[in-house]
Amino acid sequence: MCGIAGILLASNALDQRPLRTIGQMTMALRHRGPDGEGFWVDREAGIAFGHRRLAIVDLSETGRQPMHSASGRYVITFNGEIYNFRDLRRELEEVGHSFRGTGDTEIMLCAIERWGVEAAVKRFAGMFAFGLWDLQTRTLHLVRDRMGKKPLYVGLTRDALVFASELKAITCFPGFEAKLDEGAAMAMLSKGWVPDGNCIWRAAYKMPPGSLISVTAADLAVKRSAASLARRTRRWWSLAEVASIGQREPAAGNDEELTTELDRVLRLAVRERMVADVPLGAFLSGGVDSSTVVALMQAQSTKPVRTFTIAFDEGGFDEAPHAAAVARFLGTDHTELHLSAAAARDVIPDLPQIWDEPFGDESQIPTLLVSRLARQHVTVALSGDGGDECFAGYSRHFLASHLTRLQRLPSPLRQATAMGVGVLAHLSDHDLIESLPLSASLRHAMRSDRLYRLAHLLKAGNEDDLLQRLTSPSTETLARHQPPIPSFSSPLPNDLLSRLLFDDMTGYLPGDILVKLDRASMANGLEGRCPILDHRVVEFAWRLPADAKVRNGKGKWILRHLLGRYLPQQLIDRTKQGFDVPVGAWLRGPLRTWASDLIATARLSGAGILDFAKVDACWRAHLDGKQDRARDLWPVLMFEAWHCEATRSIASDAAKAHEYALLGD
């Protein structure tokens, strides 16, 4: 995994000096590739590529990028891994091709030369984002993997297209206008993350998952906006098509046969992701997803797998005992780090620079810290990300069937039930439930925010209304305007669970989960791999019947059943906790001054995004202890912290870009 950057000048560009900025752009990504850098520039064609290397497979010089194809027709700068490259290599060798090195990039280039760009990427199993220059046709191809695991941003200026793994490289380019996209900002304040179809800067956009675009210098002479360029992007892989095929051609077999097939497909995905020429391990929380990945790793390893867990020294936020129990049973080489709240809070000032779009999912903190821990011992870590989205692990997934049945009840009865749940939420707000002798899991389930959410869902008038409520943010938007209500283009209009899963896979997964993992791991020079999101696993998951996912009021039934082949039931059956951190308590205590200062700064900044009457009321209610409003406040605080950092760094980038522009050829 690496960091990539590139520049293509428009055919009518009068000045080639901006190509020199490729050095500054690439340097901005040095954290993604601490093992070296490389550049390729063709001034006559107006193209430049940069690459920061995190060496994983083939550590020799033959793995350096940017890399030329054997014929010299193509040049590539590539971020990611092609896990089936050995199978592709054997296939290509059988028809006469030979290779200098042992890595995947050389195989990619050969596959593209033999089969063409789109046909080749359809045969790649992996995570990838790359820029490919065709010297013969003078065309730039930009490609992103199926699920959106690897980021790829594209920016447009008056005279050039620029692309990179992160926005901080694009804002280095002279002439790039870093103007806030208010729609993206409103969406972030509502959801906590910028949707994958938006970008925080107007002049940039994200390549969608499973997409590619082909551009020439002549195209750039007439395409003057990021939006017009984005419309040329086409899909080479479609989740909508996968979902439709899965519904038309469901998997055949009984429970055991389906579980065995999942075991086979997921074992293959795990095995392919265990290929590395550097130390490798896994994140282990003790939950179903990470435990399944680690169990399949250990089943295919001749030595103990390295596993990593962090824990906060605060009650109710510690999954370490569960992880340790799983590690002991499987026989892994387990590392556990207990952190004080102060140590966790110490990383907060770094967050806006690491996530260079505003990002308000507080689980970014433990994800960053566990990545930092793992990097002290390994260079690659497998994770269980994707299990909830593929196999229905969120409460909304298994609530859906219950709530659908409740839709059949008379409206007055549903409204009365909603009112009763609202009363419980009010009691929870005032700590009255805390005084009851409840288990930790039940107390977690009866948090006021969860109860208010349930009351809101019970008021749904019909299934479409229920879908809208299930997929809308559960927090109050503190922006001046509400973001537009999204339209649902799910190909499965008659199946509520499938519509929810489709929405998660196309929204929350690429916009939040994968962004969180990529930035947290790459900030530490660590490669994160997600076997559950292998496209073959995803495609199999869409062929499963609903009751293989949700059964007996629980989600991820088939994944739990599979894990039961490797772990005893008592290590599987526990309440899902998630990567929670006690942000609410911190905001009332040690983070209070920091938060107050940010809110005051936001009031003076003039960005015009926030509704300060709402912000002030929310902040007072939280400080008074009447309600835990951390989930409403955290996106606001992260947005403002990001805005301060962006303003500072853009001013610095502009000064450096001016210096580059003054340099001669």
Report the CATH number that the domain containing residue 50 is assigned in CATH: 3.60.20.10
Structure tokens at 374: 């793992």
In percent, the amount of the chain with pLDDT more than 70 equals 91
Q: Do residues 322 and 426 share a domain? A: no
Contacts of 49 (CB under 8 A, 6+ apart): 4, 5, 6, 22, 39, 40, 41, 66, 75, 76, 77, 131, 133
Nearest C-alpha neighbor of 324 from the set 335, 315, 313: 335
Tell me the residue range of the domain where 415 lies: 408-459
Does residue 521 lie in a domain region?
Answer: yes
Does residue 535 lie in a domain region?
Answer: yes
pLDDT beyond 80 at 91: yes
The winner for highest mean pLDDT among 13-27, 466-480, 593-607 is: 13-27
Q: Do residues 246 and 289 share a domain? A: yes
Structure tokens at 385: 């990300």
Q: Do residues 174 and 131 share a domain? A: yes
Predicted local confidence at residue 579, as pLDDT: 59
pLDDT class of 457 with cuts at 50, 70, 90: confident
pLDDT digits (tens, 9 = 90+) for 212-226: 999 999 999 987 788
Predicted local confidence at residue 354, as pLDDT: 96
List Cα–Cα distances, 411 to 142, 162, 398, 469, in angstroms. Answer: 52, 55, 22, 17
Strand, coil or helix: 217: helix
pLDDT digits (tens, 9 = 90+) for 491-510: 555 689 999 999 999 999 99
pLDDT class of 476 with cuts at 50, 70, 90: confident
Does residue 477 lie in a domain region?
Answer: no
Strand, coil or helix: 24: helix
Predicted local confidence at residue 207, as pLDDT: 96
Q: Do residues 258 and 230 share a domain? A: no
CB contact at 8 A, 154 and 142: yes
Q: Do residues 166 and 32 share a domain? A: yes
Does residue 576 lie in a domain region?
Answer: no
Distance of CA 416 to the CA centre of its chain: 39
Question: For the chain, how many structural domains are there in total?
Answer: 4
Structure tokens at 193: 């993350």
Predicted local confidence at residue 404, as pLDDT: 81
List Cα–Cα distances, 394 to 84, 398, 420, in angstroms. Answer: 31, 7, 24
How far apart CA 416 and CA 601 sit, in angstroms, is 44
Predicted local confidence at residue 214, as pLDDT: 97
Nearest C-alpha neighbor of 102 from the set 66, 36, 144, 55: 55
Q: Between 236 and 475, where is the model more confident?
A: 236
How far apart CA 258 and CA 325 sit, in angstroms, is 28
Nearest C-alpha neighbor of 77 from the set 136, 115, 29: 29
Q: Return mean pLDDT, the chain.
A: 90
Does residue 30 lie in a domain region?
Answer: yes
Structure tokens at 599: 């809110």
Q: Where are the alpha helices (DSSP H) in 147-273?
A: 167-170, 182-191, 217-220, 226-230, 239-248, 255-272
Q: Between 9 and 339, where is the model more confident?
A: 9
Cβ-based neighbour number of residue 248 at 10 Å: 8
Contacts of 302 (CB under 8 A, 6+ apart): none
pLDDT class of 662 with cuts at 50, 70, 90: low
Predicted local confidence at residue 127, as pLDDT: 97
Q: Do residues 527 and 416 share a domain? A: no
pLDDT digits (tens, 9 = 90+) for 326-373: 999 999 999 998 888 888 889 999 999 999 899 999 999 999 999 999
Does residue 494 lie in a domain region?
Answer: no
How far apart CA 164 and CA 169 sit, in angstroms, is 6
Does residue 388 lie in a domain region?
Answer: yes
pLDDT class of 79 with cuts at 50, 70, 90: very high
Q: Do residues 249 and 332 share a domain? A: yes
CB contact at 8 A, 344 and 581: yes
The CA-CA-CA angle for residues 451, 454, 460, to 5°, reads 150
| Radius of gyration for the alpha carbons in the chain, expressed in angstroms and rounded | 25
Q: Do residues 254 and 216 share a domain? A: no
For residues 483-497, one letter each, b for 16 or more C-beta atoms within 10 angstroms of the residue's C-beta and e for the rest, the string is: beeeeeebbbeeebb
How far apart CA 453 and CA 528 sit, in angstroms, is 33
Does residue 365 lie in a domain region?
Answer: yes
Q: Do residues 261 and 132 share a domain? A: no
| DSSP-based helix, strand, coil % in the chain, nearest 5 | 50, 15, 35
Q: Between 193 and 457, where is the model more confident?
A: 193
pLDDT class of 487 with cuts at 50, 70, 90: low
Q: Do residues 139 and 188 share a domain? A: yes
Strand, coil or helix: 397: helix
Strand, coil or helix: 320: helix
Structure tokens at 197: 């179809």
Q: Do residues 563 and 595 share a domain? A: no
Q: Between 120 and 316, where is the model more confident?
A: 120
Q: Between 25 and 479, where is the model more confident?
A: 25
Q: What is the CATH number of the domain that holds 565?
A: 3.40.50.620
How far apart CA 540 and CA 523 sit, in angstroms, is 32
Q: Do residues 206 and 312 share a domain? A: no
Predicted local confidence at residue 258, as pLDDT: 98
pLDDT digits (tens, 9 = 90+) for 265-317: 999 999 999 999 999 999 999 999 999 999 999 999 999 999 999 887 665 55
How far apart CA 609 and CA 62 sit, in angstroms, is 49
| DSSP per position, 61-81 | GGG-SSEE-TTSSEEEEEEEE
